[in-house]
Amino acid sequence: MIFKVLVVGNDLPLQTGFLSRASGDRVSCQLYNTLGLSLGVVSFDYPDNLSVVLQLWSVPFSERMEGLSRNFTRGHSAIILILRPHEIENIPHMFERLALNRETPLMIVVVGSVRDAEAGSFQLDAFLGSQLPVYAVQSIDDITGSVAEGLLTRKSSKSLLPMIVTLDEEVCPLYEPTLPEPASPPNSDDEINEIRTIAIDLGLRVIDDSCAVELTEGVTWVSMKTGAIRLEPGICRYCSHCCKRQSNICIVSTDTGWSTLNLGSRALLTIAKIYALSARMLPSHVKSQIERTTVCTRFDPNPAIPIENIPDEILSGFKDSDTGKSLLEAAKERVKEGRLSKDVYSMLKKKLHNLESSRNR
């Protein structure tokens, strides 16, 4: 028996981390960088030669991908919602945006403590039609196993779904898919030295075998050995959390076709990537990958950093976040919760107002 199961939430790296841990080596993230989509497979064996296979679809939840995401959700048999405690109130909005059926078997996974999950679960009573207890689980396997059993018994009174469970963050860490190892050999030492010389001539910073290209959105590190690119989002510098995300950026996936006397095809491609990033001569799909790194649903301004020192580009990226809540609205809630001072809120409000006024001129 094969079931299509959606894995959705507000934090795409968190969803992908869950799916990756659940699926092990049976996971595909080839469309993650371009579409935000990842696929995985989990199987369970039962008595009487019965096997249950869950096709896990980690679907992006964003305004830009709303139409495409709805197409990905078609034909699903169950839903796994991956959320943090403060995001529980957004569940009705997510169902509406993705056109999900409330009658579909549902597993709500809260990455956090049972106490925090219980504090927010009462907001779902009206939406779900009943009050659901919160259970703590030890592993992702426990969750997928419960979903499989719930689908098998969904027509009986013994159905295990819907459920609200909590999972420790160490068991479900943020995840960014790594690029596959290239089939062709890496750049030689002579080629790396040539690339290093060109990068320095461009005024770029070189550390060991990596070249750093400063962008408005953060710092891209290009491996002079393989040509792989990772981006350290600039937003992390101004956030109170310490997760320090890194995202892989895919510009092109082939390095064959042409070469020179001194440089092979991979080395030339590596130089082209460095130059394209430094000159900002990038195709639209690469720009989209980079821009996506500036949005993080967990962003919480570091109180030690004055609001006026946070670049406008960082704040403007959160004016309309994927959570459906503006940064100012989120800040106002933190003031009510005692997590943010009124002075910092006032400065943030003034800065965003000035930013909006300058855009309208």
Q: What is the β-pairing status of strands 78-83 and 2-9?
A: parallel
- The domain spans of the chain are 2-167, 189-292, 307-360
CA distances from 3 to 163, 180, 187 (A): 18, 28, 44
The DSSP secondary-structure symbol of 129 reads S
**Burial class of residue 262 (count of CB atoms within 10 Å of its CB; 0-12, 13-18, 19+):** exposed
Residue that is written with structure tokens 């495409």 in the block: 68
Is the CB of residue 141 less than 8 Å from the CB of residue 22?
yes
Helix (H, G, I), strand (E, B) or coil at 213: strand
- Phi, psi angle pair for 107, to nearest 5°: -120, 115
pTM over 0.85: no
pLDDT tens, residue order, the chain (361 aa): 899 999 988 888 888 889 988 988 888 877 777 777 888 999 998 888 888 999 998 888 766 566 667 777 788 888 898 988 888 888 888 788 777 777 788 888 988 888 888 877 777 777 777 777 888 888 899 899 888 888 887 655 555 667 888 888 888 878 765 555 555 678 899 999 999 999 999 999 999 999 999 988 889 999 999 898 999 888 888 887 776 677 788 776 555 555 555 778 788 889 889 988 998 888 877 887 887 777 776 677 777 887 777 776 666 555 444 444 566 776 777 777 776 677 777 777 777 777 666 655 5
Helix (H, G, I), strand (E, B) or coil at 224: coil
The second-level CATH assignment, the architecture, of 2-167 is 3-Layer(aba) Sandwich (3.40)
The whole-number pLDDT of residue 319 equals 46
The whole-number pLDDT of residue 220 equals 93
The whole-number pLDDT of residue 321 equals 42
Comparing CA positions, the residue from 353, 236, 313 lying closest to residue 345 is 353
The whole-number pLDDT of residue 5 equals 92
The whole-number pLDDT of residue 260 equals 58
Neighbouring residues of 240: CB distance < 8 A, sequence distance ≥ 6: 300, 301, 302, 303
